[in-house]
Amino acid sequence: MTYKIQKNQLGGLFSAIAAKQKLYLPCTFSGKTDFALWGEDAAFDLDTLKTVKSAKEVFFPQCEDIVSFDTRGGNLTVTEAERETDDFVVFGVRGCDAAAFSILDSVFLSEPVDTFYKSRRDHGTVVTLCCSRPEETCFCSAFGIDAAAPSGDVTAMFSGDVLYLTPNTEKGLNLTKSVQNLLVPATQTDEKERAAEAENIRRITASLPLKNLDLSGWGKDELLEKFNSPLWKDLSLPCIGCGACTFSCPTCQCYDIRDFDKGNGVQRYRCWDSCMYSDFTMMAHGTPRPEKLQRFRQRFMHKLVYYPANNGGTFGCVGCGRCLERCPSGINIVKVIKAFGDNDR
């Protein structure tokens, strides 16, 4: 069953959803779009393809409390931070970011389970949004992701001034049911319209410059051969180690755990970290990755070799293209893949 709603009625739809549960969706701040909590004055933006940070932030926040310690009077008591207990909706997740959720799931939901992440996954309903206008930096199709049929509890698709909503799961059905009075069931003509738009999206995707990105040779094999390649030297040269690629990446999941002294106790929190930083692996007696080359190599080896080795060949990149746009030095995963490809030939 598919429903539809006019684009100019979306404000009403979002208010209705937000009246019942928290709603996160892409909103514009200072000219940049990112996922944020819906408010009546929110400047929501469903046109921007790549939010600055990916949708992972909703499930794996950049910074979150995990436990606090009361250390007053020479005592020590431990209090766990609250897990998510309320249902919420994330609206407008693109296919690449949604595919990245499965990669994050493989890390955080494998034993021993990360209960902070899990509580959000359990309570979150994901509404994905088809990409009407894929961009030149997009290469999700290289990883088998269909921008016209992203996975999610509900799949949304714009066609002209109409937004179609197709629930795929029980969570999704509950969501469409909860706002049914605002939705109109799609007719057969609508279905045809929707299928035509999907074709349109697939046609654009097939004409993108990176559509033929060749991933052969990457994956779980040849670990040491790739690691020891002389190519890393030149590839890593422009990198300034800023970490922009890792922070904007939907699949990067490395984190740090830190303590903040509150005066009357200590708050322990975790926050995103980056393997591109020189102190990431620093120990009292040194670091195994003192060179930029080694840190640069770690990021790409992890996405293209180490992660696949542990996950049946699935790559740790979803082709969102953020690192292509954000790197101040113009180096990125596509250049790495291509450099090795050219070398093989």
Q: What are phi and psi of 239, to 5 degrees?
A: -60, 135
The footprint of ligand SF4 on residues 210-249 (CB under 6 A) is 239-245, 248-249
> Which residues are CB-contacts of 285 (< 8 A; sequence separation ≥ 6)?
none
113 binds, among ligand SF4, other proteins, none (CB under 5 to 8 A by kind): other proteins
Tokens of 29: 């701040």
Helix, strand or coil, per DSSP, at residue 75: coil
Does 305 participate in binding other proteins (rule CB under 8 A)? yes
Question: How far is Cα 153 from Cα 90, in angstroms, rounded to an integer?
Answer: 10
Beta strand 3-6 with 184-185 is antiparallel
Question: How far is Cα 124 from Cα 22, in angstroms, rounded to an integer?
Answer: 9
Which one of 55-63, 114-122, 164-172, 314-322 is the stretch in contact with ligand SF4 (CB under 6 A)? 314-322
Question: How far is Cα 137 from Cα 128, in angstroms, rounded to an integer?
Answer: 20
Taking a C-beta distance cutoff of 8 angstroms, is the pair 117, 74 a contact? no
Does 305 participate in binding ligand SF4 (rule CB under 6 A)? no
Does 317 participate in binding ligand SF4 (rule CB under 6 A)? yes
Which one of 31-39, 164-172, 257-265, 318-326 is the stretch in contact with ligand SF4 (CB under 6 A)? 318-326
116 binds, among ligand SF4, other proteins, none (CB under 5 to 8 A by kind): other proteins
Q: Which of 318, 336, 337, 340 binds ligand SF4 (CB under 6 A)?
A: 318
Does 275 participate in binding ligand SF4 (rule CB under 6 A)? no
Query: How many residues interact with ligand SF4 (rule CB under 6 A)?
Result: 26
Taking a C-beta distance cutoff of 8 angstroms, is the pair 161, 9 a contact? no
Question: How far is Cα 131 from Cα 149, in angstroms, rounded to an integer?
Answer: 9
303 binds, among other proteins, ligand SF4, none (CB under 5 to 8 A by kind): ligand SF4
Which one of 16-24, 49-57, 262-270, 326-334 is the stretch in contact with other proteins (CB under 8 A)? 262-270
> H or E stretch including 222?
none
- Put residue 266 in one of left, alpha, beta given phi > 0 → left and psi -120 to 50 → alpha: beta
**Angle subtended at Cα 103 by Cα 100 and Cα 108, rounded to the nearest 5 degrees:** 120
Which one of 184-192, 196-204, 214-222, 313-321 is the stretch in contact with ligand SF4 (CB under 6 A)? 313-321
Does 330 participate in binding other proteins (rule CB under 8 A)? no
To the nearest 10 degrees (0 to 180), the angle between helices 95-108 and 115-123 is 140
Q: What sign for the dihedral angle of Cα 208, 247, 318, 294?
A: positive
What are the percentages of helix, strand and coil residues in the chain, rounded to 5?
40, 20, 40
Does 112 participate in binding other proteins (rule CB under 8 A)? yes
48 binds, among ligand SF4, other proteins, none (CB under 5 to 8 A by kind): none
* Shortest Å, Cβ 252 to ligand SF4: 6
How many CB atoms neighbour CB 67 within 10 A? Answer: 15
The residue (of 1 and 224) whose beta carbon lies closer to other proteins is 224
Does 288 participate in binding other proteins (rule CB under 8 A)? yes
Residue ranges in contact with other proteins by CB under 8 A: 66-67, 69, 71, 74-78, 80, 83, 107-108, 110, 112-116, 118, 220, 223-224, 227-228, 253-257, 259, 261, 265-266, 268, 270, 273, 275, 280-285, 287-289, 294, 298, 301-302, 305-306, 309-310
Residue ranges in contact with ligand SF4 by CB under 6 A: 239-245, 248-251, 276, 303, 317-323, 326-329, 331, 333
